[in-house]
Structure 1
Amino acid sequence: MPHAHDKAADDSDFVVAVPKDPPVKVPLKIEDWISVLIMAALALITFANVLVRYFTDGSFAWSEEISVFLLIVLTMTASATAFVRNQHIRIEAYADSGAESRQRRLAIVVNALVLLFFLLLTILSGRMVYDDYTWGDTSPAIGIPNWWYTVWMPVLALGISLRIAGILRRLLHSRTGESRT
């Protein structure tokens, strides 16, 4: 029967290996740091709002508006790194099964479709920014022009498109599915 100290010795054998980032021209640290800063800002805004509600029975009118905007930016920056690191949502039992050539072909098709989606999102959200700017819509809580918020959607969608185009380029120039990075 193993002793308690043997269990501790066995646990030390488990080392979590953090995979290296794939080789990219623009470092993924940019999106990582933007995501970290946004999470910190969201935590501070939420904490300040909770304190104000607790002590004054009121709240900051702008906090929800800013938080929703920051969550959208966070989603987009985290999506960019998830695609490059191959951590996006997918059915792994299907995507990672079969021969390497099949996995590579499937990755090319999927990334091409995702690239098409984000290019369309770039164009359509750009039109939305134009409409917001043209019509002079303002935000409900703060009253600033809506395009101040919406201008980031086409910018970030284009950034994701460029990241996915890089993935596709690497996939098309590799011989096996292993060179996905």
Structure 2
Amino acid sequence: MSEPSHSPAPQAEGPEQPRALRIEDWLTVIIMALLALITFANVLVRYFTDASFAWTEEISIFLMILLAMVAGSAAVARDQHIRIEFLTSRGTAARKQLLARLGSASVALLFALIAALSARVVWDDWRYEETSPGIGVPQWWYSVWLPICSLAITARAIGLFRRQGRLAQFEAVATDEQESA
């Protein structure tokens, strides 16, 4: 799959990438390593004892969900989230910029809403002392990460929206300078 060359926001990749955008990369590495270690340990135990760790499936599912949320945050931070290329790559530069900003504002609004609603789920898990079905730990240990990650995605989307605005201002100034020259 090739990278889109028409992206309206500056890409944050390579060694010049700010440290704040590397958080998701390190979290991805850590989560993937934990998933690999847990799965490998379970395979070894099953091979040598004909039994398995009961907790591995529950922890693995939690880590995969967390991985998806961290990857979503990374995609938003780098302006690589899903969009309909047919619509976003057509038309004038102003239209492309408007659609890009509308997209990042929509992502911010959606994940702010998810954060608020999932905070209620965490509160209910804590208040009613729900336990996980597999190993019986408090369910809020797992559910608390959804509002936290949703807020992180919201912050990334707001940051992208601001960067897109600065880029639009920079392009407008550059166009004015070219026209006056």
Structure 1 residues 33 and 178: alpha-carbon distance in aligned structure 2, compared to 1, 3 A threshold: farther
104, 124, 138: which one aligns with 1:111: 104
Find the counterpart in structure 2 of residue 153 from structure 1: 146
Structure 1 stretch 127-136 or stretch 168-177: which is displaced more? Answer: 168-177
Distance in 2, Cα, partners of 1:32 & 1:19: 12
Structure having greater relative contact order (Cα 8 Å, sep ≥ 6) = 2
User: Residues of 2 paired with 1:19 and 1:167: CA distance?
Assistant: 11
What SS does structure 1 have at the residue aligned with 2:108?
helix
Structure 1 range deviating more: 18-27 or 103-112:
18-27
Q: Taking structure 1 as reference, are residues 23 and 151 closer, same or farther at Cα in structure 2, changes over 3 Å only?
A: farther
RMSD: 2.5
Cα 1:159–1:45 shift into 2, 3 Å: same
Residues 100 and 176 (structure 1), Cα distance of their counterparts in 2 relative to 1, 3 Å cut: farther
Give the total of aligned pairs. Answer: 162
1:118-133 correspondence runs (5 A)? 118-133=111-126
Answering whether residue 165 of structure 2 is matched by residue 165 of structure 1, we say: no
- Uncovered stretches (5+) of structure 1, i.e. residues with no partner: 1-17
Alpha-carbon spacing, 1:66–1:119, altered in 2? closer, same or farther (3 Å): same
TM-score, structure 1 as length reference: 0.81
Q: In the alignment, which of 48, 57, 72 is matched to residue 64 of structure 1? A: 57
Q: Which runs of 5+ in 2 are unaligned?
A: 1-10, 173-181
CA 1:165–1:39: 2 relative to 1, 3 Å:
same
Q: Aligned letter for 2:93?
A: E
The answer to whether the 8 A contact 1:80-1:163 is kept is yes
Aligned position for 1:7: none
Shift of 1:118: 0.1
Displacement of 1:117: 0.7
Report the Cα offset of residue 50 of structure 1: 1.3
1:48 paired with 2:66, answer no
CA distance in 1, matches of 2:76, 2:13: 14
SS in 1 for 2:168: coil
**TM (normalized to structure 2)?**
0.81
Are 1:29 and 2:9 an aligned pair? no
Aligned amino acid, residue 89 of structure 2: D
Secondary structure of the residue aligned to 1:60 is coil
- Partners of 2:139 and 2:151 lie apart in 1 by 20
Taking only the aligned residue pairs, the percentage that are identical comes to: 51
Counterpart of 1:136?
Answer: 129
Q: Which residue of 1 aligns with 2:74?
A: 81
Deviates more, 1:25-34 or 1:131-140: 25-34
